[in-house]
Amino acid sequence: MTKKIKPTLVLVLFVLLSRTVVSVEFVYNGFNEVEPNNLSVNGVAQISKNGVLQLTDETSRVVGHVFYKNPIRFKNDQFGNNVSSFSTAFAFGIVPEYAKLGGHGFAFTISTSNEMKGARPSQYLGLLNNSDVGNFSNHLFAVEFDTVQDFELGDISDNHVGIDINNLESNASVNASYFSEGSSTKQNLFLQCGKTIQAWIDYDSSRNLLNVTLSMSSRKPSYSILSYHVDLSPILEEFMYVGFSASTGLLASSHYIFGWSFKMNGMAQSLDLDSLPSLPKPKKDQTTLIVATSLSAVMFLAFGLILALYVIWKFKNIDVIEPWELEIGPHRFSYKELKKATRGFRDEELLGFGGFGRVYKGLLPKTNNVVAVKRINHEAKQGLQEFVSEIATIGRLRHRNLVQLIGWCRRSGDLLLVYDFMPNGSLDKYIYDEPRVVLTWEQRFKIIKGVASGLLYLHEEWEQTVIHRDIKAGNVLLDSEMNGRLGDFGLAKLYERGANPSTTRVVGTLGYLAPELTKTGKPTTSSDVFAFGALLLEVACGRRPIEAKALPEELIIVDWVWDKWSEGAILEVVDPRLNGEYDEMEALMVLKLGLMCSNNTSSKRPSMRLVVRYLEGEVVLPETLSAPDEYDGKKSGASDMELEDFVPSYPSSSYLEKVSTWSSAYDGEGDIDIEANSARPTDSGREDNR
C-alpha cells in the first residue's frame, strides 16, 4: 500500500530546498572568451581586442558600467533576512589623461539594477545623481577607488579607498596602500600609477565584517588596509547585481579591469597577474608630438624658404600646446572642437556679452552635452600662464550651487572657458523691469539659500579661500530646476592682473561695492558679504541696488529699505509683482539680513556661515539693527578719495549728481572700474549664461 505524503510536508520540503545555500562562483582571467550573455556592458564601457575590460576612456564627463548579467542571490536563510558571505578579487589599472591629473575613480558595486539609469559622472562615479544620493531606498553598496578629493563629499584625499552605502560620502575610507608579502609594514600605493593592482573585497556575514585588501602581486597579503563592521542585511535585497562603475570629470582617466573572480559563501580565487591581459600601450605624449613637429619644421627650413612658408600656411590652424599647459587641471578642448560646437561662433548662438567677453551656446560633438562657451577678451599685459593657472584653481571647485567649469582652450591670444549650460539664464532677467516670468517667493528664497551655500563653500569650505568679487543678480545662473548657481567666480581677479600697482583699481558693479574697497582696493570675504546683502534686497524688492529712474528717496535700495524699517513699514518694499503671496516671516528675515550684510562697517557684517544659519532657521536674527550708514571714512583714516562718491548707501549730493550724469550710460547692469580718483562704468552688458 502506497503511503501518501501530506501536502503541508511537501510545502515545507519545497521551502527548505528553495532556501538551500547556493555557492555562486565565476572567474574571468581576461574577458576575450566571455560569453556575450554573461556580462551587461553600458555607457562608454567596452571589451578591447586583447581582452581588457575598459570602463572609461579619456573623454570627459562620461560613465561606464559592467555587471554580471544575471542577478545573484544574496539572502538564502529561511526567512530571507540575512545576507550571505561573499568575496571578490579583481585586477585593475588606472591611467590618467595627464600624469598625476586624472578623474574620477571607479567602484566595485552591488546594486538592484545593472543599468544605473539616471546616474551622473564626476563625483557620483556613475552610481547616483544629486537627487538620490544618500537615499536609503537606493539599496546600493560600493567600494570606491577614488582619484579626486571632493570636499563636498568629505573625501580624505585624492588617492583613497572608501566604503559607500547608499551614498558617495564614504562610511569609512583610507588612503590607498598595501602590505608586501610576509610584511606588516604598510606601503603607499598610487592608484593612478598605470600598473596592474589587485584588490580583494571580503564580507563575513557571521561577524558583519568587511575587509578590503590591495596588492601589486598575485598573492593576497595577510593584512587588509580597511576593515569595517557593518550589517549589510538592511542594505542588500534578496537578488542583486554585482559589477563595476566608473566615471570621468573635468579631467579623465582610463579605468581598466584585467580579470575578475567572485564567490558566494567562500573565498574568491586570487588572480595570477602574469596570465592576465596587459595594460594597453599609452598614446604618444603630446609634448613629444609637439617637439617632433617643431623639429620637422626646422628640417623643412633647411630645404628652402618657399617650402617653410608652405608648411606654416598648411599648419597655421593647429593648436600649439606648451609643456606647462599639460599640468593644468581642467580638460583642454581643441579650438576646432569648440568652433564646431558653437557653429563657428555664430551670432545665432550668442547668449550674452560682458566685460570679460562673449558667451556662446555650444553642443560638444563627442558627448552631445550642451555647454556655454565664454570667449575671453584677453589683454596682452596679463600674464597668460598666470591666467591659465587661475583657471586650474577654478576648475577644481565643485559645489551644487556653483556653475561648473568643464574645460578651457587657448589659441594664440584667444582664451575660451567652457561651462555647464544653465538653460534658464541669469537671475536678473526674472526680477528687473517687466520679466516674462515672475518668480514666486518660494523660488526666490530657494535661490537665495543656494547662492549663500555656494558662497560659504568659496569662503570657508574649500582648501583655499576664494573671494568672488562680483556677486550680483547677473552672475547668478539658474539651472533647469531653477536652482541658483554662482558664476564668474575668480575672473575679476584675473581681469585685475596687469593693473598699475601704484593706483587703486576696483573692478565691480555699482551698488554692490563695499565702502572699504575704495580705500584699500583689497577685496575680502566681508566685501563679498556686502554684495550678497545687495543681492538679498534686490531679490526681495524686485529692483536694482541703484535705480537711476527712481524717486530720490528710493534711488538707493539700502537707504530706502532702512527708511521703511525705521518707519515700521518694512514689508512695503517687497516686490509688488508677488501680489502679496509670500511668507511674511521669510521676507522679513531676508530684508533684515540684507540690511545687516549691507552695513558700511565690515566688522558688523555677519560671516557667510552665520548667514546660512540664519537662512536655515538655525539662528534667530536680532530684534534691533544698526543703521547701515554708520561708516565714517574720514575718521577711519581714509585717503583723499571721497568715499561718498562711490559708496552705494550714502546718498550725498555729489553722489546723486554722478548717478544723474551716468544714468544715460549706466542701467545698473554694468561694471564700475574705480581707478585713482575717477569712477566710470565699464562696457559690460548682460550675460544670460556666465
What residues are annotated to the active site? Answer: 470
Contact indicator for 122, 249 with CB cutoff of 8 Å:
yes
d(CA 35, CA 586): 61
59 burial via Cβ count (<10 Å: 0-12, 13-18, 19+) = middle
Identify any residues that bridge with 161 across adjacent strands, giving them in sequence order. Answer: 145, 174
d(CA 151, CA 145): 16
d(CA 382, CA 495): 8
Contact indicator for 690, 487 with CB cutoff of 8 Å:
yes
- Phi first, then psi: give them for residue 38, nearest 5 degrees: -90, -20
- Phi first, then psi: give them for residue 3, nearest 5 degrees: -85, 125
d(CA 190, CA 159): 7
SS3 of residue 587 by DSSP: helix
CB-facing half-sphere around the CA of 284: CA atoms within 13 A: 8
Identify any residues that bridge with 120 across adjacent strands, giving them in sequence order. Answer: none
Question: Concatenated DSSP letters for 308-362?
Answer: HHHHHHHTTTSPP--GGGGG-SSEEPPHHHHHHHTTTT-GGGEEEEETTEEEEEE
Q: Is 493 annotated for ligand binding?
A: no
Torsion of CA 639, 645, 647, 650, to 10 degrees: 120
53 burial via Cβ count (<10 Å: 0-12, 13-18, 19+) = buried
Contact indicator for 532, 540 with CB cutoff of 8 Å:
no
336 burial via Cβ count (<10 Å: 0-12, 13-18, 19+) = middle
Annotation: binding site? 374
Annotation: binding site for ATP? 374
